[in-house]
């Protein structure tokens, strides 16, 4: 009588005879690789071993592959290759921000020491200094000029007060010179002196202008006035009528010129003459921002009397008779954007007629000079 159970020996015998594998064993090619096989790295079948989003695909979260069970990228079950005890990097959340991404932090307000007397301006020609700027071509030299009624001259003065030369701008007229600056111009690699003939106490002028000339070597000494040739006259106009102004600076990044107006009520529109500046027609300026001196974040004096931009273009300083402020500027920021940020109060000496402020040539501090004869040059070093 045949048994009710099949003879187990028959299929086993067939397997041996025919050389076939056990049908319950998966083929070798279907087996998951082992970390030990041919030195292959362990990997997770549900997601890449390195979960960092690829830079080649927008929206890095799409690079995370959820498991077959629909799990979120940070919920992918571990693969069998993790059983060897090797600890893998923790998955990065799709919305995680890399440590080096985003804009750099906005710099904190710099601090400056109290004004230190650097020297006395003894040269008789400098009797009403209305502008000062540190030379880029002559170490330890400041350029100055007089206020309205003066000659069309600039004066080289060492930071200790020693006279370094008088230079006459050929073809220029000093109707009401109010500020001086240094910046780039039409020839690359050349630093230019800019003088702003923009004073207008009655707000009635229609002939505002800038004078631009390559910066000279200050070696004129005390022997007369050295003529400066190649002076360019640049006509500038406001888009909204006449304004009085005593402050000007040049952006070293763009060569744009900025005029800061002066009003008794503290309302201070700022205008930009965009480079390249024309020398054969009017350069109509654009209003970029209005500052409010004498209140809020700009307490103290209401009338802007001087301005300058650091040689690196990362700071703007504007002063009144009684106070001064600095605005920070980071890479990619326009001047208007910088002036819209919180200002930093900076010290000035008690100069009732302080109409000149200029950064040091290395940007690490600034100088102020008041109007008058035999006046002191004050240096405010950065701490």
Do the domain assignments include residue 7? Answer: no
Asked whether the beta carbons of 67 and 47 are under 8 A apart, the reply is yes
Give me the pLDDT at residue 224, please. Answer: 84
Give me the pLDDT at residue 220, please. Answer: 72
Asked whether the beta carbons of 360 and 374 are under 8 A apart, the reply is no
Do 76 and 218 reside in the same domain of the chain?
no
Do 235 and 367 reside in the same domain of the chain?
yes
Do the domain assignments include residue 106? Answer: no
Asked whether the beta carbons of 345 and 112 are under 8 A apart, the reply is no
Do the domain assignments include residue 32? Answer: no
Element (H, E) at 160: none
Do the domain assignments include residue 9? Answer: no
Do 88 and 132 reside in the same domain of the chain?
no
Asked whether the beta carbons of 330 and 314 are under 8 A apart, the reply is yes
* Cα(75)–Cα(27) distance, integer angstroms: 31
Do 154 and 261 reside in the same domain of the chain?
yes
Asked whether the beta carbons of 267 and 320 are under 8 A apart, the reply is no
Do 54 and 195 reside in the same domain of the chain?
no
Give me the pLDDT at residue 101, please. Answer: 63
- CATH assignment at residue 176: 2.120.10
Domain ranges, residue 370: 116-381
Do 87 and 124 reside in the same domain of the chain?
no
CA angle 288, 291, 297 (to 5 degrees): 140
Do 315 and 184 reside in the same domain of the chain?
yes
Element (H, E) at 18: helix 9-18
Give me the pLDDT at residue 150, please. Answer: 83
Residue 340: closest CA among 324, 327, 326, 323: 327
Do the domain assignments include residue 5? Answer: no
Do 123 and 249 reside in the same domain of the chain?
yes
Do the domain assignments include residue 332? Answer: yes
Do 89 and 144 reside in the same domain of the chain?
no
Do 152 and 75 reside in the same domain of the chain?
no
Give me the pLDDT at residue 103, please. Answer: 67
Give me the pLDDT at residue 144, please. Answer: 97
Residue 255: closest CA among 298, 192, 174: 192
Residue 52: closest CA among 100, 20, 102, 12: 100
Please tell me the total count of domains within the chain. Answer: 2
> CA separation (Å) from 175 to 14, 61, 169, 238, 316?
117, 65, 13, 18, 27
Give me the pLDDT at residue 36, please. Answer: 38
Which residues of the chain have a pLDDT value below 50? 1-94, 96-97
Do 89 and 124 reside in the same domain of the chain?
no
> CA separation (Å) from 101 to 95, 104, 319, 325?
13, 9, 36, 31
63, 95, 127 - which closes a domain: 95
Half-sphere exposure of 318 (CA within 13 A, CB side): 32
Do 170 and 206 reside in the same domain of the chain?
yes
Give me the pLDDT at residue 351, please. Answer: 62
Other Cβ atoms closer than 10 A to 142:
29
Do the domain assignments include residue 334? Answer: yes
Do the domain assignments include residue 167? Answer: yes
* Cα(93)–Cα(263) distance, integer angstroms: 55
């Amino acid at each position: 009588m045949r048994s009710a159970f099949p003879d187990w020996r028959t299929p086993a015998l067939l397997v041996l005879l025919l050389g076939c594998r056990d049908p319950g064993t998966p083929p070798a090619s279907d087996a998951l690789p082992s970390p030990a096989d041919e030195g292959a790295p362990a990997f997770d079948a549900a997601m890449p071993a390195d979960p960092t989003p690829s830079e080649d695909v927008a929206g890095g979260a799409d690079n995370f592959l959820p498991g077959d069970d629909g799990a979120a990228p940070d919920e992918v079950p571990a693969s069998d290759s993790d059983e060897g005890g090797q600890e893998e990097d923790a998955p990065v959340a799709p919305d995680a921000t890399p440590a080096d991404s985003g804009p750099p932090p906005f710099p904190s307000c710099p601090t400056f020491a109290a004004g230190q007397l650097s020297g006395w301006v003894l040269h008789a020609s400098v009797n009403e200094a209305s502008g000062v700027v540190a030379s880029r071509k002559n170490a330890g030299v400041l350029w100055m000029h007089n206020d309205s009624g003066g000659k069309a001259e600039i004066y080289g003065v060492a930071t200790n007060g020693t006279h370094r030369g008088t230079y006459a701008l050929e073809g220029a007229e000093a109707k009401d010179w109010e500020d001086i600056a240094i910046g780039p111009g039409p020839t690359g690699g050349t630093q230019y002196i800019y003088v702003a003939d923009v004073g207008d106490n009655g707000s009635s002028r229609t002939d505002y202008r800038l004078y631009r000339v390559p910066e000279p070597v200050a070696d004129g000494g005390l022997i007369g006035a050295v003529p400066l040739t190649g002076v360019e006259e640049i006509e500038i106009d406001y888009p909204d009528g006449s304004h009085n102004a005593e402050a000007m600076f040049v952006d070293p990044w763009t060569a744009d010129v900025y005029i800061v107006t002066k009003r008794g009520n503290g309302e201070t529109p700022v205008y930009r003459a965009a480079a390249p500046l024309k020398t054969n027609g009017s350069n109509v300026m654009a209003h970029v921002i209005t500052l409010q001196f004498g209140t809020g974040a700009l307490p103290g004096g209401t009338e802007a009397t001087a301005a300058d931009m650091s040689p690196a273009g990362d700071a703007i300083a504007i002063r009144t008779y009684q106070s001064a402020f600095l605005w920070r500027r980071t890479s990619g920021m326009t001047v208007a954007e910088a002036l819209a940020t919180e200002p930093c109060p900076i010290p000035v000496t008690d100069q009732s007629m302080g109409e000149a402020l200029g950064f040091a040539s290395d940007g690490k501090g600034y100088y102020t000079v008041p109007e008058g004869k035999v006046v002191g040059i004050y240096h405010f070093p950065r701490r």
